[in-house]
Amino acid sequence: MKLKKNILCIGAGYVGGPSMAMIAYKCPDYRVTVVDINGDRIDAWNSDNLPVYEPGLEKIVKKTRGNNLFFRKDIENQIKENDIIFVSVNTPTKTYGAGADMAADLQYVEKTARQILKYSRSSKIVIEKSTLPVKTALAIEKILSSSKGRIKFDVLSNPEFMAEGTAVKDLENPDRVLIGSRETKSALNARNQLIEIYARWIPLKKIITSNIWSSELSKLVANAFLAQRVSSINSISALCEKTDADITEVAKAVGMDSRIGDKFLKAGIGFGGSCFKKDILNLAYLCEYYGLNEVASYWKSVIKINQYQQDRFIANILHRMFGTLAGKKICIWGFAFKADTSDTRESPAIYVAKKLIAEQAEIIISDPQAMKNAVSDLADSKGTIRYVEDPYEAASGCHAILILTDWDLYRKMDFRKIYRSMVKPAFIFDGRNIIEREKCFDIGFNVYSIGKSALSHI
Ligand code: UDX
Ligand code: UDX
């Protein structure tokens, strides 16, 4: 079979890997290659133990790998051989110099652009897949046009909106695909080539185009709006706990207004993940850069509430457990930043665990997928930490259970059996509002949820 397009992706992370696997799966006649500077990651993508846990991902990787999907280490060679190059390298928050703790660190994007320039022998379409500050495409264009007059590069913006845990579903059936481009003939031709790829499985009406800056900005704004909804509902959860209103009932009543909508209104211990905080800080930095200080402080308040929610959760544990955690055994169910992923980046569980260690509690961590990441996240913490895969065994002998990730598994536990195995009085702090709280209260637990009145025997 003649392969119609050669596609390369630089960056084999949570975004690059799954999104390229989906293109390979949907377009069996395209050859899709993914490279990464981290050779171990490439080895993992080529093994039975994929570096990313996503429901459904293993199936599509197994079907395509070695046929039309390849994970490789020879970056230079692959740049030469492919004409369509996605850039999906990481853009963490800068930790140094101007804009430290706010701006996106663009060093990897820039290095990648220089690499593309250096090894290209023919014209290329370069596609920003990473989330980037508005106007980054301009910098990429400037680097790419800095030499080699005859080779032409067209830069497109094609941000990825999929969420972890539902990546395969989101990639297969996205709400929209956004492609930003310049208006030149060659850029529009490049845009059409990208549309052609997505049109293989996505209806044309869902593939939208815009100018390149709108596209870059839309991704930051979409994440900011989503995070803002989580902070909005979390801020109201604090008020519910003071007034005996119930956050689930309030969210339902509010969300049924079709102008508001019912998604992303689940109160909890706050949002985590590699994107929300980073992207809001980046948005706020852009606003400050352009002198829009009021706009910047509006968005920063979303992060403030997120931090407040985690601090509130910890303060409540301390208060309910008689003001001291020293020497007490606290079981943490769930370390991933959300269910159905092994990812722990910016997971509230890291912060909570460190605070408990500072209170000299002994912590026992359990998670169905994120144990390896949890171990490395807490590697520098000097405290008593145990990692126990089985959630029953983890809770046994503990004073309290904290539910920090909304894994389905925790809804279905035998709480009677667990209660019997714990130190009394036994506490549950449900940071995700997923358990049947009245049932647990009747069993004998003292139950504290987010945005609901306490169910306490003491
Ligand atoms: C996400 C999003 O894609 C992006 O929008 C956001 O800006 C950063 O985080 P993700 O795939 O989750 O990216 O990041 P990560 O899992 O860290 O993957 C990035 C990969 O790029 C890593 O495997 C890293 O080794 C690789 N990389 C980084 C390169 O191949 N070359 C580089 O120069 C730098
Ligand atoms: C997010 C965006 O949803 C996605 O479009 C973008 O491409 C990347 O960033 P992700 O971070 O993977 O995706 O997960 P998401 O489902 O958005 O959850 C983020 C955090 O918010 C999680 O910690 C989750 O638990 C929390 N959350 C989400 C809530 O606390 N309540 C909600 O109602 C929804």
Which ligand places an atom closest to the C-alpha of 346? 2
Which ligand places an atom closest to the C-alpha of 164? 2
So what's the pLDDT on residue 147? 76
Residues 365 and 261 both lie in one domain: yes
- Of the candidates 202, 217, 242, which is a domain's last residue? 202
**366: domain range?**
230-458
Residues 197 and 237 both lie in one domain: no
If you measure from the C-alpha of residue 259 to the centroid of ligand 1, how many angstroms do you get, rounded to a whole number?
35
Residue (of 446, 238, 428, 399) closest to 334 by Cα position: 428
Residues 263 and 185 both lie in one domain: no
Nearest atom in ligand 1 to 131's CA: 5
Q: Does the CB atom of residue 161 touch ligand 2 within 6 A?
A: yes
Identify whether 223 is part of a domain.
no
Q: Does the CB atom of residue 108 touch ligand 1 within 6 A?
A: yes
Residues 399 and 310 both lie in one domain: yes
Neighbours of 56 (CB within 10 A): 17
Identify whether 224 is part of a domain.
no
Identify whether 215 is part of a domain.
no
Identify whether 29 is part of a domain.
yes
So what's the pLDDT on residue 148? 61
Identify whether 207 is part of a domain.
no
Identify whether 219 is part of a domain.
no
Which ligand places an atom closest to the C-alpha of 166? 2
d(CA 366, CA 116): 43
Identify whether 439 is part of a domain.
yes
Residues 99 and 194 both lie in one domain: yes
Q: Does the CB atom of residue 45 touch ligand 1 within 6 A?
A: no
Report which protein residue has its CA nearest ligand 1's atom 4.
130
- Of the candidates 184, 202, 220, which is a domain's last residue? 202
Q: Is 440 a catalytic residue?
A: no
CATH of the domain at 449: 3.40.50.720
Residues 191 and 335 both lie in one domain: no
Residues 279 and 130 both lie in one domain: no
Q: Which residues contact 213 (CB under 8 A, 6 or more apart)?
A: 134, 135, 137, 180
Q: Angle CA(422)–CA(424)–CA(429) in degrees, nearest 5?
A: 75
Residues 282 and 176 both lie in one domain: no
Nearest atom in ligand 2 to 406's CA: 25
Tell me how far apart the 2 most distant CA atoms of the chain are, in Å: 78
Indicate the burial class of 401 (C-beta count within 10 angstroms; 0-12, 13-18, 19 or more). buried
If you measure from the C-alpha of residue 275 to the centroid of ligand 2, how many angstroms do you get, rounded to a whole number?
8
Report which protein residue has its CA nearest ligand 2's atom 27.
271
Residues 177 and 254 both lie in one domain: no
So what's the pLDDT on residue 89? 96
Of the candidates 9, 27, 240, 275, the residue annotated as catalytic is 275
Residues 182 and 259 both lie in one domain: no
Residue with tokens 């209260």: 441
| Segment-wise mean pLDDT, segments of 10 residues, the chain, 458 residues | 82 97 97 98 97 95 98 98 96 90 91 95 95 89 83 96 97 98 96 97 98 95 98 98 97 98 98 96 95 98 98 98 98 98 97 98 97 97 96 98 98 97 98 98 98 96
Which mutation among 177, 310, 338, 342 tests ligand 2's pocket best, with the greatest number of atoms within 8 A of CB? 338
Give how many domains the chain has, as a whole number. 2
Residues 189 and 287 both lie in one domain: no
Residues 181 and 242 both lie in one domain: no
Nearest atom in ligand 2 to 170's CA: 5
Identify whether 305 is part of a domain.
yes
